[in-house]
Structure 1
Amino acid sequence: MNTFRRKMGSRLRKRVPRNIREYLIKKVTLHDVETHAHHFTVNLTLKNFMKYQLEHKLEIELSSAGTKYGLDYRIEQNRLQIKVPYIVLDDMDGRASIEVKHNQKQMIVGLDGNEERQKLSFFSNDKYFNVSTQGSLVIENLLPGYRFNMAQPAEVEHLSAAYGHLKLEVKETVDSECRLACLYQSRLRVLEHVSHDANTMEVENFNILTEGHPTLYLLHGHELAPLTFSGDALTMDTMNHEITYLSEDGYLTAEITKHEIELTRFDASVEDDHINMQFAFNSPATLQTLMIVDATTGETVEVPFLSSEETMATEIQVPLSALIDTVSRKRLVLETSGPEPIRLQPNISNLNAIGFPGRIQAEYQHEIFKIWFYGRRDGLLGFNVAQRPLRRQVVQVDDFTIHGYIKGQDAFIDCTPYLAFVDRYSQEYARVEIDERFRVDLRSVDIIDIKSKDKTVIDLFVEIVHSSGNVLRKEKIKLKDAVYKKDTHYGRQEVMDSLGNTHYHLITITPFNNLKLESFMIPESIELPKGSIEKDMNMWLLGERYDTAQDNGYAMFRWLKAHTDIEAYYVIEDTSEDYQKIREESNVLRFGSKMHFDVAFRAGVLLGTHDLENLLPYKAARGFFGYEDTVKIFLQHGVLGRKPVEYHRKYYDLPFNLFIVSSEVEKQDVVMNKMGYSDEEVAVTGLARFDLLPYDDHPKDILLMPTWRDWINTDEAFLASEYFSRYNSFIHNARLNRLLEENDVQLNFYPHYRAQGSFNNEHMDLGPNIRFIRLGQQTVQDLLIQHALLITDFSSVSFDFTLMQKPVAYYHFDAKRFFRQGSLRPIPETFIGDIAHTEEALVDAIETYIHNGFQPKTNDLSGIFTYQDHKNRRRIYNAVMDKINSIGD
């Protein structure tokens, strides 16, 4: 009956037109916040609800630091008003959440699309709070390091301004430590380079400001006092903005707008190696430079105008390289000449279609690019450049032959398309020339010749190669209609080399269905098992990634040898730095050695922090030396919940028999509900490495340890990325470096292993109190133990830090893109600490922790760690033994 109802409901949804469905679908959205004497009200908009459906069926509860409060509410027409007493915020540490339940089912609260106009922030007890929604409502203390002294404002007696210069006189004397700050939409901007004289402050650097309507504050230490003002409005120019200061409700505020110039005509045409741009304006302008600003990185290319005379029209020749070298959206800015230059944003909102070029094409470095100028939402002139899409796909795998096609190669001049086979580790390659429709027998490709290791991965690419030998385009190729499984393959070949070694080549795919080859070698000296292989359940093989011994795998291995009679072995590549540290220990195996093969053939239990491919010298799949008869344990390398991971049960033909987690919440909400494992397949034990964390150390240095971005796949993309730009800027932040020096604090920068080659001393001129830590120089766990504050973005190493009762500051400048595929748990549940979205906010958090002696906030960690002791490895061992016994039964 339920199946019938679901089918009928689906059919009805398909039949009901979209405009009618809009009147049927119930929605709850966050509208605004109202403040009152003793409470504030969160107003939600209800769409398509009847009042009788809600009365007596709503439960509204605020949760903060493990304490829950029932909240009063009332319903008026289409508005649900939730009353929150200010007193509950006094006990709140960092953030709280409000759940709205209807008939005991949580209602998902969205945004109504008018966030720019909404009042969602407010003050309470000298703190600044904001209300947002992440499914449930979230109340956050946005600037916990600051105290807002709203009861004692500073009175401004006089304002004067000139180009790029503001003079502000207040009633009381201000000392040299005072600064001017602007607060707008939850962002605090602190103006540097402020000079003082008795009761006067002068500001000459406004570069940090952006458009908006901020309120101005006097900042002294960590106390912010609003500025009162009753004078007339005053307007000034800076290079980038026009700023008007005025009184609003008695407080000094600012209206900040970009300089604009209205275009009456704009044209562009390609001529040889440049674009000729013609501008006409509605008012005279004296132009000096055209600035081309990358919308992502902020990098700027400047092209001078030939004439700087005042005119109503002008033109300029822009090299194609300035527009195309980084394929991205850009802003065009016109800078005037003279002693008081301003940067004008071209406004084309009144341009007719006639005279506006739209899309054009340009040939650059043997490739045809699409170029177009367009009107942005704000009416300003925008520019974009795009490469012609190179469509490519493998449509069939027949034995060890692939069939596919490519389209779009006609956008390249004097070029040849190839299918390239590239070793993932050494980048050695082989190529096969292909046509628009191709058939390639992989047996004709000498895979052995390009292999860097006995067990390796060969990625497949379509390459467009110019006659000069330069590769103009390199794109991975997908397998059509593929179903991703880590432990299966689509084709197999066995080849014996001249020395009698047997190489296995397997056609497999990545999580994105990109085609690849996995290859492993069995040396001639290895005696393969005959007949069926009997696995020894007392022989356990452990590992992490091929090249590490510093995580849960190694911690578990050491404990097993010391406390049990398990025959435990640890496998690692002998070229890694970690191997050199542990090579003399008993039962440490060199990857691919004769002993490794012997143990791999016989071991009944496999325990890894990553995929079990890292443990075995052959393919971890059914049919390879009894792999299907092993007990497979996922030890993990972090606490799950922030982003989707590749260990879903559906990704395996032979899933893990046991999945280790740190809490009941992680087990139920993530591994069972979102990753498909059953109750008996998940054990709440805590992670093995947590047993080695001290709870009572008192270091004073700072560790910067960001994670990786999966969309960065080349060195060129890395150096052009916002990721590199943000961290490079942060490390060179003048206030940060001054803080570190003045307080004798060291900041140690340990980049993700994939970024080590670019984030290093060669690319960065580090300050005296900032040090770059090379991969393998210290273990991650040692680094975590040795530092007082961790700065990361989304890395799960933060959980180790939190477990040690030490503070974490998160830098979320690209959170929207990082979580583009969603998160497994709400952000407040797993990001325990301060979240900064801007560089200055991050430096603010660091300054607060330096000044308070790196004291952490008190947090309820029960949703992250069920156990906070040093018995995790014992629990893991018991859980594995129970699993072995249950399988044996």
Structure 2
Amino acid sequence: MWLFIDRPTTIGDNAEALFRYCANREDGIEKFMIIPDETYYHNFEGVSANIIIYGSFEYKFLLMFAEKVISSTTFWEWVNIDTNIPKYEFKLIVQALSNAQEVFLQHGIIRKTSFSDWYLNSSSKNFDFMVTSTEKEYELMRSENTGFKEKQVRLTGLPRFDLLKNNSESMITFLPTWRIQYSKDDGSYDKHFRESDFFKSINEFLNDEKLLELLRKNNYRFIFKAHPKFFVQIEDFDIPEEIEIVSTELSYNEIYEKSAILITDYSSAVVDFAYLKKPIIYYHSIKEEAEENPEYFSYESDGFGEICLSIESVINKVQNYIDNDCLMEEEYVKRVDSFFKYTDKNNSERVYEEILRLPIPNKNKII
């Protein structure tokens, strides 16, 4: 029995993609997709009837008997969000009653080597198997810095890449990162956010008259795909009528499918867009606080698009792409090909086969 879960609050990531691939394979394995609530049932009509609501009795019961828990997030940090038992204690209870192996599908591609220092290492995580998508990421996860054993890491690609579609419309998406230093501990509104250069940079960009004129002239939609943290501060922004601000109204997959051009500062979400070989522009008006390790990833030499430091240069680049049918330039196509180990639609197949190779856990554990 395998359980698949993205997050307790949402689906649409690698666990759902892999579940769709292997749900009905005749391999003698019962597979269950965990969803946040009943509103997600319709997503799996014609796919599988094995759909379980997170936190339900069925979910907790199956968790005791699952052979594998397959998640796009670090599962034990989310598993008991609906209980009043501390996470660590809940983990011990489940592990005492269950032999489940943890398969970590990742939420994206690791962009910084420092990520392994404070979060993704064997001191804090103990996966039976995790996926990687690039040669550098694979080597990072197998390095002495992480402490993971060779058998725990595989180079397969992310299952969700298989579901990416390319049906570009006259649409540009702006997808900036959120800066953690502007988040209050209780998640409430921060009256000082308006004073930050980060806010001023974004607000100025969204209200630039040349940008708005470009959209009107070329009849393009402009989507501001906002990180959920932005919505706490949304009253600070002056949003002109030419700009559409969205959060969950358009999924990331819809953004990737429909956008002709994507503009970001440092968001790792552009990796999926790059997989489709669609044009990306980096607007680096405000430098990211934590610098990259240039040997691991450099925007100058490894990035998937041109780096722009001014609004004018962004607008000129957008117009250039529109004039050239919004095709990714050959320089960046080559970077995409060299970045990913695979650019096919067989990522789920590779992950599925690797999971099948995992040894069956010991079913004779003495409690």
TM norm structure 2: 0.83
Does the CA contact (< 8 Å) of 1:706 and 1:794 recur in 2?
Answer: yes
CA separation in 1, counterparts of 2:113 and 2:176? 15
CA offset digits 1:405-446 (Å, max 9, x no partner): xxxxxxxxxxxxxxxxxxxxxxxxxxxxxxxxxxxxxxxxxx
> In the alignment, what sits opposite 1:56?
none
Matched, 1:579 2:50: no
Q: How has the CA–CA distance of structure 1 residues 884 and 725 changed in structure 2, closer, same or farther, with 3 Å as cutoff?
A: farther
CA separation in 2, counterparts of 1:571 and 1:620? 21
> In the alignment, what sits opposite 1:809?
281
Gaps of 5+ in 1: 1-538
Matched, 1:648 2:111: no
Instruction: State the one-letter code of the partner of 1:771.
Output: E
> In the alignment, what sits opposite 1:432?
none
Does the CA contact (< 8 Å) of 1:642 and 1:823 recur in 2?
Answer: no
> In the alignment, what sits opposite 2:4?
542
Does the CA contact (< 8 Å) of 1:700 and 1:854 recur in 2?
Answer: no
CA offset digits 1:100-145 (Å, max 9, x no partner): xxxxxxxxxxxxxxxxxxxxxxxxxxxxxxxxxxxxxxxxxxxxxx
Q: CA deviation at 1:596?
A: 0.9
Instruction: State the one-letter code of the partner of 1:590.
Output: I
CA offset digits 1:209-267 (Å, max 9, x no partner): xxxxxxxxxxxxxxxxxxxxxxxxxxxxxxxxxxxxxxxxxxxxxxxxxxxxxxxxxxx
> In the alignment, what sits opposite 1:709?
179
Does the CA contact (< 8 Å) of 2:156 and 2:351 recur in 1?
Answer: yes
Equivalent position SS for 1:737: helix
Matched, 1:691 2:157: no
Q: How has the CA–CA distance of structure 1 residues 830 and 544 changed in structure 2, closer, same or farther, with 3 Å as cutoff?
A: farther
CA separation in 1, counterparts of 2:271 and 2:139? 19
Does the CA contact (< 8 Å) of 2:102 and 2:129 recur in 1?
Answer: yes
Q: CA deviation at 1:602?
A: 1.3
Does the CA contact (< 8 Å) of 2:121 and 2:148 recur in 1?
Answer: yes
Q: CA deviation at 1:821?
A: 8.8
Task: Select 1:675's aligned residue among 146, 151, 175.
Answer: 146
CA offset digits 1:122-172 (Å, max 9, x no partner): xxxxxxxxxxxxxxxxxxxxxxxxxxxxxxxxxxxxxxxxxxxxxxxxxxx
CA separation in 2, counterparts of 1:702 and 1:606? 37
CA separation in 2, counterparts of 1:725 and 1:625? 48
Q: Which has the higher strand share?
A: 1
Does the CA contact (< 8 Å) of 2:135 and 2:341 recur in 1?
Answer: yes
> In the alignment, what sits opposite 1:868?
343
Task: Select 2:68's aligned residue among 598, 605, 608.
Answer: 605
Does the CA contact (< 8 Å) of 1:641 and 1:823 recur in 2?
Answer: no
CA separation in 1, counterparts of 2:151 and 2:337? 22
Q: CA deviation at 1:605?
A: 0.8
Does the CA contact (< 8 Å) of 2:122 and 2:147 recur in 1?
Answer: yes
CA separation in 2, counterparts of 1:664 and 1:647? 20
**Matched ranges for 1:254-269 at <5 A:** none
Task: Select 2:93's aligned residue among 620, 624, 629.
Answer: 624
Does the CA contact (< 8 Å) of 1:649 and 1:675 recur in 2?
Answer: yes
CA separation in 2, counterparts of 1:702 and 1:626? 47
Q: How has the CA–CA distance of structure 1 residues 564 and 643 changed in structure 2, closer, same or farther, with 3 Å as cutoff?
A: farther
CA offset digits 1:629-669 (Å, max 9, x no partner): 321111011122346325422442x5111110112232014
CA separation in 2, counterparts of 1:670 and 1:863? 19
CA offset digits 1:326-370 (Å, max 9, x no partner): xxxxxxxxxxxxxxxxxxxxxxxxxxxxxxxxxxxxxxxxxxxxx
> In the alignment, what sits opposite 1:569?
32
CA offset digits 1:308-337 (Å, max 9, x no partner): xxxxxxxxxxxxxxxxxxxxxxxxxxxxxx
Instruction: State the one-letter code of the partner of 2:127.
Output: F
Q: CA deviation at 1:567?
A: 1.7
CA separation in 2, counterparts of 1:564 and 1:796? 36
Q: CA deviation at 1:550?
A: 1.1
> In the alignment, what sits opposite 1:788?
260
**Matched ranges for 1:16-55 at <5 A:** none
Gaps of 5+ in 2: none
Higher relative contact order (CA 8 A, sep 6+): 2
CA separation in 2, counterparts of 1:883 and 1:643? 27
CA offset digits 1:7-47 (Å, max 9, x no partner): xxxxxxxxxxxxxxxxxxxxxxxxxxxxxxxxxxxxxxxxx
CA separation in 1, counterparts of 2:293 and 2:159? 29
CA separation in 1, counterparts of 2:181 and 2:60? 36
Does the CA contact (< 8 Å) of 1:663 and 1:865 recur in 2?
Answer: yes
Instruction: State the one-letter code of the partner of 1:559.
Output: Y
Max radius of gyration: which structure?
1
CA separation in 2, counterparts of 1:599 and 1:721? 48
Q: How has the CA–CA distance of structure 1 residues 833 and 594 changed in structure 2, closer, same or farther, with 3 Å as cutoff?
A: same
CA separation in 1, counterparts of 2:239 and 2:12? 27
> In the alignment, what sits opposite 1:525?
none
> In the alignment, what sits opposite 1:657?
128
> In the alignment, what sits opposite 1:131?
none
Equivalent position SS for 1:672: coil
Q: CA deviation at 1:876?
A: 0.3
Does the CA contact (< 8 Å) of 1:552 and 1:688 recur in 2?
Answer: yes
> In the alignment, what sits opposite 2:239?
766
Instruction: State the one-letter code of the partner of 1:766.
Output: I
Does the CA contact (< 8 Å) of 1:691 and 1:870 recur in 2?
Answer: yes
Instruction: State the one-letter code of the partner of 2:94.
Output: F
> In the alignment, what sits opposite 1:639?
109
Equivalent position SS for 1:790: strand
Q: How has the CA–CA distance of structure 1 residues 663 and 824 changed in structure 2, closer, same or farther, with 3 Å as cutoff?
A: closer
Q: CA deviation at 1:816?
A: 4.4
**Matched ranges for 1:307-346 at <5 A:** none
Instruction: State the one-letter code of the partner of 2:95.
Output: G
Does the CA contact (< 8 Å) of 2:214 and 2:319 recur in 1?
Answer: yes
Does the CA contact (< 8 Å) of 2:142 and 2:150 recur in 1?
Answer: no
How many residue pairs were aligned? Answer: 343
Q: How has the CA–CA distance of structure 1 residues 746 and 669 changed in structure 2, closer, same or farther, with 3 Å as cutoff?
A: same
Instruction: State the one-letter code of the partner of 1:606.
Output: V
Instruction: State the one-letter code of the partner of 1:665.
Output: K
Percentage identity across paired residues of the two chains? 25
Does the CA contact (< 8 Å) of 1:540 and 1:606 recur in 2?
Answer: yes
Instruction: State the one-letter code of the partner of 2:5.
Output: G
TM norm structure 1: 0.36
CA separation in 2, counterparts of 1:883 and 1:770? 49
Matched, 1:748 2:208: no
> In the alignment, what sits opposite 2:324?
852
CA offset digits 1:707-764 (Å, max 9, x no partner): 22121123214333322221111110111000010011111111112223333xx544
> In the alignment, what sits opposite 1:278?
none
Q: How has the CA–CA distance of structure 1 residues 764 and 615 changed in structure 2, closer, same or farther, with 3 Å as cutoff?
A: closer
Q: CA deviation at 1:769?
A: 3.0
CA separation in 1, counterparts of 2:272 and 2:106? 13
Does the CA contact (< 8 Å) of 1:559 and 1:873 recur in 2?
Answer: yes
Equivalent position SS for 1:755: helix
> In the alignment, what sits opposite 1:552?
14
CA separation in 2, counterparts of 1:671 and 1:770? 44
Q: CA deviation at 1:580?
A: 6.5
CA separation in 2, counterparts of 1:546 and 1:830? 34
Does the CA contact (< 8 Å) of 2:168 and 2:257 recur in 1?
Answer: no
CA separation in 2, counterparts of 1:703 and 1:798? 11
Equivalent position SS for 1:815: coil
CA offset digits 1:649-703 (Å, max 9, x no partner): 2442x511111011223201455355332322111111011001135x3433111
**Matched ranges for 1:215-230 at <5 A:** none
CA separation in 2, counterparts of 1:704 and 1:616? 33
